């Protein structure tokens, strides 16, 4: 069998019902939800399992909910004997990766995620910042178009896979950028988020978040972990702290992160957590790797069977 990397999803992968089947089938998953509810002070299990969808889509609830579901799925998967040799996570998912690598406890990870979500939500006035996906243009072209917008700040913030770049910025600037992207032959998809995440407009949020990061105990990762900001491995607690703070206002270099893992021999990628967004991105990055996914008992069984075949 090849080298296994666990990859953890970020905001946008949420859906009502996520984690419910796992919690019903596996006691360790149900325990994660109970622990999260105690730590957060609100019923994360009820929100994940029953909604309402409008509340689940709010950043301050979305991020802790996805983190909790992803960790529950991770515990179930590893209890079946599947261990990663490396990890990475997309934006919010990087926190789950840090817990999987032993750098953060679940409780500290959840606390950081909750604080991050609250700070990001209020960092920029609602309705004045936007994000959108640009499909069908090279990264260099999207960067060039962003630089040409004079109506405000708009930046390329997620380099997800070939032909998919997410931009963020002030509403008017994003509108201009989307119009010019359409003229250049792109497809554009506005994203339902509450602010211009991962852009320079979030620097004040990063400053507010920094004390929380430094207050938290962080250990050296026990597994190779590729960070969003650098698309390279992190080795020390200080590197991790710096990257988590910078991640708030810096682009997510997801394509480069995955290519780094592939270059280093990782050829089995398991998306652990709700949805299959990352699996879709990886299909665009490489056709040479095995892509698996675990978000419920059905996908768990399929993944275990595929891994058995790959031995």
Would you call 91 a catalytic residue per the annotation?
yes
Residue for token pair 């072209």: 141
> Which member of 13, 70, 103, 198 is catalytic?
198
Q: Across-strand partners of 266?
A: 3
DSSP string, 109-158: HHHHHHHHHHHHHHHS-TTSEEEEEEESS-HHHHHHHHHT--SS-EEEEE
Would you call 235 a catalytic residue per the annotation?
no
> Which member of 13, 70, 91, 257 is catalytic?
91
Distance CA 114, CA 117 (A): 5
60 CB-near residues (< 8 Å, 6+ apart): 114, 117, 118, 121
Burial class of residue 139 (count of CB atoms within 10 Å of its CB; 0-12, 13-18, 19+): middle
Question: Would you call 297 helix, strand, or coil by DSSP?
Answer: helix
Contact 161, 107 (CB under 8 A): no
Alpha-carbon distances of 138 from 144, 161, 186, 211, 254, rounded to whole Å: 10, 10, 10, 37, 15
| 289, two tokens | 């790797």
Distance CA 195, CA 124 (A): 6
Reference 274, options 99, 37, 70; nearest CA is: 70
The conformation of residue 200, written as its DSSP 8-state character, comes to G
Catalytic residue set: 91, 198
């Amino acid at each position: 069998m090849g080298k296994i990397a666990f990859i953890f999803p970020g905001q946008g992968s949420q859906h009502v019902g996520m984690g419910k089947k796992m919690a019903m089938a596996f006691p360790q998953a149900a325990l994660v939800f109970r622990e999260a509810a105690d730590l957060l002070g609100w019923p994360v299990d009820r929100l994940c399992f029953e909604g309402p969808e409008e509340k689940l889509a709010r950043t301050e609830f979305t991020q802790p909910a996805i983190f909790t579901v992803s960790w529950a799925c991770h515990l179930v998967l590893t209890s079946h004997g599947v261990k990663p040799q490396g990890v990475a996570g997309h934006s919010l998912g990087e926190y789950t990766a840090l817990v999987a690598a032993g750098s953060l406890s679940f409780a500290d990870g959840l606390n950081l995620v909750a604080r991050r979500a609250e700070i990001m939500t209020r960092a920029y006035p609602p309705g004045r910042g936007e994000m959108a996906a640009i499909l069908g243009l090279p990264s260099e072209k999207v960067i060039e178009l962003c630089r040409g917008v004079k109506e405000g700040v708009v930046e390329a913030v997620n380099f997800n896979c070939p032909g998919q770049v997410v931009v963020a910025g002030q509403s008017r600037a994003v509108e201009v950028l989307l119009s010019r992207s359409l003229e250049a032959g792109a497809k554009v998809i506005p994203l339902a988020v509450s602010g211009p995440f991962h852009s320079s407009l979030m620097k004040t949020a990063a400053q507010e978040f920094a004390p929380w990061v430094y207050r938290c105990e962080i250990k050296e990762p026990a597994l190779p972990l590729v960070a969003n900001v650098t698309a390279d491995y992190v080795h020390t607690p200080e590197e991790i702290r710096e990257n988590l703070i910078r991640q708030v206002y810096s682009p997510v270099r997801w394509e480069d992160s995955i290519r780094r893992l592939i270059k280093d021999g990782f050829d089995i990628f398991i998306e652990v957590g709700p949805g299959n967004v990352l699996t879709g991105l990886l299909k665009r990055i490489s056709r040479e790797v095995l892509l698996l996914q675990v978000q419920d008992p059905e996908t768990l069984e399929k993944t275990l069977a595929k891994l058995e075949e790959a031995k």
